[in-house]
Amino acid sequence: MSHHAPLVIDVAGHRLTPADRRRLSHPLVGGVILFGRNWKDRAQLTRLCAQIKAVRRDLLIAVDHEGGRVQRFRTDGFTHLPPMAALGRAWLSGGDAASALVACNAATAAGHVLAAELRACGVDLSFAPVLDLDHGGSSVIGDRAFGRDPHMVTVLAQALVHGMRQAGMAHCGKHFPGHGFVRADSHLDIPVDRRSLKAILADDAAPYGWLSASLSAVMPAHVIYPRVDSRPAGFSTRWLQEVLRQRLGFTGAVFSDDLSMAAARVIEGRAVDFTEASLAALDAGCDMVLLCNQSVEDGGAPIDAAIEALSQAALEGRWQPRDASEERRRALLPSGPATPWDALMVDPRYIQALTLLDGLPG
């Protein structure tokens, strides 16, 4: 049977428990997502990442670390990164090409600082940048977006990604094909975007096409676009295969968004369990599926049940592991060694990047 490790799971606390180690050693588990509860200080985070890598070197350690209000680690030396909207404001501040280029330089600096600090502690990947457009009404997106104009968003995201790559980190653009137009919070409800495919491709989804040669990974939105498909984008073959891969030419990895959110497990009006949601996401074209905040629920029983069910589905032929998905997962692992924290603090490129961020307008 082909190998494919599609599950990205969480761990309980500041250090691995025996149950965490058992789950992480399972061949279907390919990654770990860290949260605020996994953070005490840099030394503890570095130890936790080392413990995870000691279980399996190829486990991908990821975190939501965008800047602004979505930044899991923000004390003990971690730089308070600006929200992406600050880079958009810098772009627009002078109304000319020079302001745009200054903003791009600051975006590269932000990406470099973001990735270098995480990698110094052992984290492999951040789920950034946000490619959503700020239409003004979304409480979920807001200042997480660079701005309203897809051209500006694309160029600033490209610059941010360049900075992350300087530090040896891959990235994940989100939330395809666009979460910024809808007002509902997808953590609580499934938002519905009633625009046509043509309208979405011309606006919110445009950055994905323009960045198709650059993006290492993409995360779809928990949004239904009924004029395109009755399923949310993350469960939709139409969105993931026909639009993202075929039409827009994307070749990297696709992560589901967090399937533990109740709203994430509604398919065509029917609530489904995590196993069914995982299989639906994988069948639609996701390479990896996220099960978050479950290691502390019922002693981690939801993760154990998901691993068991996915193993059973593979045995029964209801799910076929894919070599291509595994190759895409492994391609997200850092290719070179990280600069250790103490060396990073005196690294000229890092120091220059901090100076550029300090100079950002408001």
- What residues pair up with 62 in beta bridges, in sequence order? 33, 125
- Whether 257 is a known active-site residue: answer yes
Residue located via tokens 């500006």:
152
Q: Which residues contact 259 (CB under 8 A, 6 or more apart)?
A: 265, 274, 277, 278, 281, 289, 290, 291
Query: Which residue in the list 80, 187, 273, 298 is annotated as catalytic?
Result: 187
> Is residue 69 exposed (0-12), middle (13-18) or buried (19+ Cβ within 10 Å)?
exposed
**Positive or negative CA dihedral for 63, 273, 174, 253?**
positive
Backbone angles phi, psi at 303, to 5 degrees: -70, -45
Q: Distances from the Cα of 205 to the Cαs of 62, 120, 131, 177, 275, in angstroms?
A: 24, 33, 9, 5, 29
Query: Which residue in the list 134, 257, 258, 287 is annotated as catalytic?
Result: 257
DSSP assigned state of 317? T
Residue located via tokens 């070179």:
336
3-state SS assignment for residue 45: helix
Given a contact cutoff of 8 angstroms between Cβ atoms, the answer to whether 322 and 63 are in contact is: no
Exposure string (b/e) for 136-155, b if CB count within 10 Å is 16 or more?
A: eebebbbbbbbbebbebbbb
- Whether 112 is a known active-site residue: answer no
3-state SS assignment for residue 192: strand
> Annotated active-site positions, please?
187, 257
